[in-house]
Amino acid sequence: MIPACVSDYRELARRRLPRLLFDYIDGGSYAEATLRRNVEDFDAIALRQRVLRDVSKVSLETELFGQPMSMPVALAPIGMAGMYARRGEVQAARAAKAAGVPFCLSTVGICDLAEVVGGAGVAPWFQLYMIRDRGYMQTLLETARGLGCPVLVFTVDLPVPGARYRDMRTGLFGGKPPLGAVIGRVLDGLAHPGWLMDVQVSGKPHVFGNLAAAIPEARGMAEFWPWVSRNFDPSITWKDLDWVRQHWDGPIVIKGVLDPDDAREAVRCGADGIVVSNHGGRQLDGVLSGVRALPPIADAVGDELTILMDGGIRSGLDVVKALALGAKGVLLGRAWAWALGARGEAGVTHVLQIIRQEMHMAMALTGCTDVRQAGRELLTA
């Protein structure tokens, strides 16, 4: 298949990846109602077509947190991306750099910060959770600052992990699997020889690079999960952001906001930005989609900090809809993860090209020539 859109890359990733990994990318929590809403609510928004508006020059360029960008799109933090393609975080960061957009590295990426900086030649944004081991958290912040990471994306909607049934069924997080499951995984890996040679054979080490110093005895991902599980911190409050600010002097973006009152709290705490997000439908099922939560949050705090959003973005048209509803930029998640799993760096590069082309077309046909001017007049009632 010649991929023409993001959904084509989803299908290519499904074919290339073992089921355990594809389901980790593709799935959500519980019955996946919010996962579906994230996409369906974008589909329900109608753009307002305008004609004869002189759209011979359309600009997608913008700036976020002092960083020039070729379009208001960044690659969201995705865990275990180095299991989808060999040293996958580095490949994605290179594609983002070439496209002129930021890449955000997950705390639980396979490649660590230093490898991504060395491999891509640019410091990524860094995503971090509040973990119980504050000493190691401080070490991560110092490392990110020392390597020149320009933005800290602080994820706050994971004080406890969501119930992700697909991952339970594949045994991804279930401790030591029974013999039958192990055999099934081996057979599934052998059934995907392209992935097997690229990642399983040639893509080692398979560890969470940013956490390796905390668990030096760990040799595989299964040995990291107990430490990760122990370090979820359900006791965190807004006051803990004071501790983060003491150890980070750059822009802080709070990821996981769905309620206007929480957005106002982020302003009071001195955040530079927020990401309107339900964690891609992977945490609390049944909540609002990101795009439905966005307008009241933009109305409440849009003049006081930078609003980004994620969840359900499958095209450049979706990006324009998010901008029209008050976001200054979006984070792509599954879109780039599927592309990476399907075709590595080349896939991510192509998806970003697709998003750019679709944004340009949507801007031209709604009569908007500057992405920074996109507003609700681009939408119909």
Query: Quick one: which of 356, 302, 295 has its CA closest to 72?
Result: 356
**Token pair of 160, please?**
């406890």
Check residue 367 and report its DSSP letter.
Answer: T
Cis peptide before 124 (omega within 30 of 0): no
CB 310 within 8 A of CB 337: no
- Nearest-angstrom CA–CA distance, 130 and 311: 22
Given 192, 206, 247, 279, which residue is catalytic? 279
Query: Quick one: which of 330, 332, 333, 283 has its CA closest to 307?
Result: 330
**Is the four-CA dihedral 218, 222, 224, 230 of positive or negative sign?**
negative
Catalytic residue at 360? no
Instruction: Give me the long-range contacts of 167-174 (CB less than 8 A, separation at least 24).
Output: 167/23, 167/24, 167/27, 169/23, 170/19, 170/20, 170/23, 170/24, 171/20, 172/20, 172/23, 172/24, 173/225
71, burial (CB in 10 Å: exposed 0-12, middle 13-18, buried 19+): buried
For residue 103, which amino acid is it?
F
End-to-end CA distance of the chain: 37
Residues assigned a catalytic role: 279
